[in-house]
Amino acid sequence: MRYVPRLIAGQLERAARGFAALVLTGPRRAGKTTLLRRAFPQATYRLLEDPEIVARVRSDPAAFLDELRLPVILDEIQNAPELLGHIRARIDAAATRKGRWLLTGSQDAPLMRGVTESMAGRAALLELWPLATRETSKVSLLRGGFPEALARPRSASLWYRSYIQTYLERDVRAVSSIRDLATFRRFLALTASRCGQIINKTDLAAPLGVSVPTITEWLSILEVTGQIVVVPPFFENFGKRLIKSAKLYFVDSGLASHLLGIETDAQLQRSPFLGALFEGFVAAEILKQQQAAGQRRELYYFRDQQGLEVDFLIPISGRRLAVVEAKATVSVRPEDGAAVASLSRSVRRRETRGFVVHRPRPSSQPLHALRPGVQAVSLSELLDFLARK
């Protein structure tokens, strides 16, 4: 698969002009290294997963840095946290020099603790997820966006099996001292079956025979290693009694499909998880676009105790709000927009735009009205609207 230009590349270049260091995090194999080496072709490159290099760093970190020609890409910096203090000292000694330290990391939380403590104000922090639909048409609900899975679709199942094993052996053990990886692997599949649902830790704990605090820890691991995204309820009160628990989705629909045993398009169409996977796919694409534009993550859902539920609420410029329902169908009907219309009528302090996102036929007409204030759109059309606003 040829290199696919990433939408976040502009953010990287601006960060390199404004900061001495930049830190690019995200899930393993999302394309961080490829992106940095493309964006900064003259930079020295060192992979901090190489045992020989890690041994040199641990024996004499200052000497290791002395040998480097700047700018430098230090890949998987979480494997050598002792370098951060030395890098900070060198940044402070040459405060006007920008874009010389380019760092990547797969485990967000441990890496962020080190960056926060060592390089606060000195480093720009960016996040990269797998490929987005706006970057390549090869991204799909079944295959997701990991570059290597898309490059060899016939071997995608084998790639995902290898990815999960590598993730368990490296990322999970680096974040936590989990010993029972077999149970954690079952937890991964169980979590995939809860995509789009409000998080119920007791429901996850019971079939695995573990405690609720263990589930809390394991969900945190999935989140900080970039495997799931937690979508909180909308923070404004519309005069209703609201559900306050968060919902979860997998960052990559291809990985979620694999964990659910879905390997073909025919299986996906028959699967009871089709709607939830499509909903998660929409959520991830919205968040990828926000990341690429340098916006903060703003995606919420709405559900009240009377049963009114809308998949996504997205604040846009001013006091406006996009109210979005995701339907994994080709055809949509006016009743599919009922919840969107009902919630929009309840919003008094904001101007709303209502959408039902669905999977259109190639010949379908764009942007058609379902009911007053609610339009049926493709995912591409919704992303175009959000990009303009």
Q: Does 216 share its domain with 266? A: yes
Instruction: Say if residues 36 and 102 touch (Cβ distance below 8 Å).
Output: yes
Write down the pLDDT at residue 271.
97
User: Within this chain, do residues 342 and 257 fall inside the same structural domain, yes or no?
Assistant: no
175 and 262 in a common domain: yes
Q: Is residue 210 part of a domain?
A: yes
Write the CATH number for 271.
Answer: 1.10.10.10
Q: Are residues 109 and 153 in the same domain?
A: no
Higher pLDDT, 371 or 201: 201
CB 259 within 8 A of CB 168: no
For position 82, what pLDDT does the model report?
87
Q: Is residue 360 part of a domain?
A: yes
Per-residue confidence band for 97, with pLDDT thresholds at 50, 70 and 90: very high
My answer on whether 93 and 211 are in the same domain is: no
Q: What is the CATH number of the domain that holds 70?
A: 3.40.50.300
Both 208 and 174 in one domain: the answer is yes
Q: How many domains does the chain have?
A: 3
Contacts of 132 (CB under 8 A, 6+ apart): 7, 139, 145, 285, 288, 289, 292
What pLDDT is stored for residue 266 in this prediction?
A: 96
Who has greater pLDDT, 189 or 366?
189
pLDDT digits (tens, 9 = 90+) for 323-362: 999 999 988 889 999 999 998 888 877 888 999 999 876 6
Q: Which domain holds residue 358?
A: 308-388
Mark residue 373 as left, alpha or beta (left: phi above 0; alpha: psi -120 to 50; beta: remaining). left
Q: Is 320 helix (H, G, I), strand (E, B) or coil?
A: strand
Question: Does residue 187 sit within a domain?
Answer: yes
Same-domain status, 120 and 53: yes
Residue 2 lies in a domain: no
Q: Is the pLDDT of residue 303 over 60?
A: yes
- The answer to whether residues 111 and 165 belong to one domain is no
**Mean pLDDT, residues 209-229 taken together:** 92
